[in-house]
Amino acid sequence: NAGVTQTPKFRILKIGQSMTLQCTQDMNHNYMYWYRQDPGMGLKLIYYSVGAGITDKGEVPNGYNVSRSTTEDFPLRLELAAPSQTSVYFCASSYSPGQGFDSPLHFGNGTRLTVT
């Protein structure tokens, strides 16, 4: 199993450009998450999904959009990139037997995004 795969690994965007960060997992996890990590800081939840067709906002959703058309894929869309979105983005997934809120997260390797 590859686990959680994120692409690209690095990206530089100009202000106002758009892009999609890709995330796919092959563990049949129904919970998926997007976090951002600013330098020297913790992880802030952007959006999460509890299953295909269901998404919800996290702590810092402004400027981002997500979709979950399949169990495997959870892309994150930046429509109008701003310098404040310079960060490292991590996708994660978890299994959920029952309520599953306490399942450990499996993280991808991250996407390092710079907006200039």
Which of 31, 38, 39, 30 has the alpha carbon at shortest distance from 60? 38
Distances in whole angstroms, Cα of residue 87 to Cα of each of 1, 39, 95, 107: 27, 7, 26, 16
Give the nearest distance from C-beta 64 to another protein in angstroms: 16
Which of 100, 101, 108 has the alpha carbon at shortest distance from 74? 108
Answer whether 37's CB lies under 8 Å from 56's CB. Answer: no
Give the nearest distance from C-beta 14 to another protein in angstroms: 25
Give the nearest distance from C-beta 15 to another protein in angstroms: 26
User: Judged by CB under 8 A, does residue 105 bind another protein?
Assistant: yes
Which of 40, 23, 19, 41 has the alpha carbon at shortest distance from 32? 23
User: Judged by CB under 8 A, does residue 58 bind another protein?
Assistant: yes
Give the nearest distance from C-beta 22 to another protein in angstroms: 16
User: Judged by CB under 8 A, does residue 40 bind another protein?
Assistant: yes
User: Judged by CB under 8 A, does residue 81 bind another protein?
Assistant: no
Name the site residues for another protein (rule: CB under 8 A): 31, 33, 35, 40-45, 48, 50, 56, 58-59, 90, 101-102, 104-110
